[in-house]
Amino acid sequence: MVALGFVYGLLLLIIVRASRSAGVGFRFASYIDNYMVLQKEPSGAVIWGFGTPGATVTVTLCQGQETLTKKVTSVKAHSNTWMVVLDPMEPGGPFEVMAQQTLGTTNVTLRVHDVLFGDVWLCSGQSNMQMTVSQIFNASKELSDSAAYQSVRIFSVSLVQAGEELEDLDEVDLSWSKPTAGNLGHGNFTYMSAVCWLFGRYLYDTLQYPIGLVSSSWGGTPIEVWSSRRSLEACGVPDTWNARVLQPEIKLTKRECESDGPLCPLRRFFRAALVAGPSAHSVLWNAMIHPLQNMTLKGAVWYQGESNADYNRDLYSCMFPALIDDWRQTFHDGSQGQTERFFPFGFVQLSSYTLMNTSDYGFPEIRWHQTADFGFVPNLKMPNTFMAVAMDLCDWDSPFGSIHPRDKQTVAYRLHLGARAVAYGEKNLTFQGPLPKKIELLAYNGLLNLTYDQEIKVHRQDNKTFEISCCSDHQCKWLPAPMNTFSTQTLILGINACLGTVVAVRYAWTTWPCEYKQCAIYHPSSTLPAPPFTAHITQ
């Protein structure tokens, strides 16, 4: 009986999926539902779904008894899909969207209610994006505060992988919903993304109109699974379709676990040690991103990179800009040009975690490659992007492992500053910490002078944060360069430890650069840390 029940269930699943792909029946796409947010003007929101080939579909936008816009299309024979682009709408609501299929004398009508117009943001990445509100600092307060943000709507994609690009989502974890303590704090690493929620909440505080948040993330995943095959090929990424991705090894320190033996409490590290998502290239692009391509978006935010610290690390500086450009082109085309070709794309630069091997450069190099090796964004390879530096948000005692720091509020706040400046064009808003704009070698004085692009605040002076590459006899090594003196915009390093030639300088080039919010250099407001950098020095 058990075997028969299993077979019956499997056959039923196959039938349901086959009928869905064949377009049997009339329905909206998976993410068009009650409580959704549609992209506001100047773009037009795309409404689409499946139907009977040859049938006429009329889509109407209503408010109360008033019809605001009406669009007519037909169901395509080859794909069994229909699609319309609504007229651009000002932010607000609620509205009702009605779709009616007509074939001969048969009419079928679908309705979705409580629809708002605002800005729609897609959030993606691995486990630090997947962490839920119940896992972060001040979780109970954040969950109770959600009641004040009923115009910030949330949607979460199920964890699904596919060998080919899907047209629509196979499953949905959380249909469009108003935020509640239940759906925001559903469980560990189970909808809704805390970074995504907090980012949207901060945006709402500034913009005061509806925000739609679409969460599509999976822990322990390298960038390759979120990239299309064409973007990976453009970067010369080896085709390891069936290869197992080597995940960064998570090693506990005594500060994370008081016991050296088997009695170490599992709760302190179970997620960090066991989290591992799919590894086959493009499978999450196919199943969790591509099906959203018809959605009109305002922008996207991304938190990923830990799983590439020891996997195709050197290719990340190509793969990440390629992913951004490919997502932009795909959503632009899928939305009939309604999503901007170069829509704003924000990301979180990797935070810190405890390594037994403190000389490992996986995290510092990924942080650098996240900026396409510029050290800042926007840049020539990554236009219209913004970044939240997070290397000072370390968390020794995170019950989810130090690789999962719990201060997601600061991450989201820094992200939203970047969005306000880059996506919304807010002027005179500082959204990135200071970077050197001029480096002068004063070899005769044994000094290196750094002039920053904005005022700086030195939080602490030490002999380790800055390092110089010292070369002699055709060999180079990194040596500490202690801070000598500093002023409002300049910093002078001592380089007397180098008995050869100083050829480069770098800052915060370790997995764990500083304690919580105590890195060396900040913007004078103390809210934005200076990003890590490495630079060659011309003699």
Q: At 358, is the pLDDT very low, low, confident or very high (cuts 50, 70, 90)?
A: very low
Question: Cα separation of 193 and 135, whole Å?
Answer: 10
How confident is the model over 117-129, as a mean pLDDT? 98
Distance of CA 52 to the CA centre of its chain: 37
Tell me: the pLDDT tens digits for 409-446?
A: 999 999 999 999 999 999 999 999 999 999 999 888 89
- Sign of CA pseudo-dihedral 402, 403, 408, 414: positive
How confident is the model over 357-382, as a mean pLDDT? 90
What is the structure's pLDDT at 361? 86
What is the structure's pLDDT at 141? 95
Residue 271 has pLDDT above 90, yes or no: no
What is the structure's pLDDT at 60? 98
Residue 359 has pLDDT above 80, yes or no: no
Do the beta carbons of residue 386 and residue 421 sit within 8 Å? yes
Residue 363 has pLDDT above 80, yes or no: yes
Residue 275 has pLDDT above 90, yes or no: no
Nearest alpha carbon to residue 123 among 187, 216, 185: 216
% of the chain with per-residue pLDDT over 90? 81
Question: Cα separation of 110 and 130, whole Å?
Answer: 32
The two structure tokens encoding residue 91: 């932010």
Question: Cα separation of 85 and 46, whole Å?
Answer: 5
What is the structure's pLDDT at 258? 37
Rounded to two decimals, the pTM is 0.89
What is the structure's pLDDT at 463? 84
What is the structure's pLDDT at 356? 52
Residue 272 has pLDDT above 60, yes or no: no
How many residues are recorded in the chain?
A: 539
Do the beta carbons of residue 237 and residue 313 sit within 8 Å? no
Going by the DSSP 8-state scheme, the letter that residue 358 receives in this structure is: T
Average pLDDT, the chain: 89
Do the beta carbons of residue 465 and residue 529 sit within 8 Å? no
Tell me: the pLDDT tens digits for 298-310?
A: 999 999 999 999 9
Going by the DSSP 8-state scheme, the letter that residue 186 receives in this structure is: S
Q: Which helix (H) or strand (E) holds 129?
A: helix 127-130
Q: At 398, is the pLDDT very low, low, confident or very high (cuts 50, 70, 90)?
A: very high
Tell me: the pLDDT tens digits for 508-530?
A: 999 999 999 999 999 998 889 99
Tell me: the pLDDT tens digits for 12-31?
A: 444 344 434 333 489 999 99
How confident is the model over 268-276, as a mean pLDDT? 41
How confident is the model over 147-169, as a mean pLDDT? 97
How confident is the model over 174-185, as a mean pLDDT? 94
Tell me: the pLDDT tens digits for 182-199?
A: 999 888 998 899 999 999
Tell me: the pLDDT tens digits for 448-493?
A: 999 999 999 998 888 889 999 999 988 999 999 999 889 999 999 9
User: Which has the higher per-residue pLDDT, 239 or 408?
Assistant: 408
In the block, which residue shows the tokens 């796409």? 29
Beta strand ranges found along 252-398 (DSSP E): 299-303, 345-348, 385-388
Residue 267 has pLDDT above 80, yes or no: no
What is the structure's pLDDT at 157? 97
Other CB atoms within a 10 A radius of the CB of residue 98 amount to: 16
Residue 230 has pLDDT above 60, yes or no: yes
Q: At 240, is the pLDDT very low, low, confident or very high (cuts 50, 70, 90)?
A: low
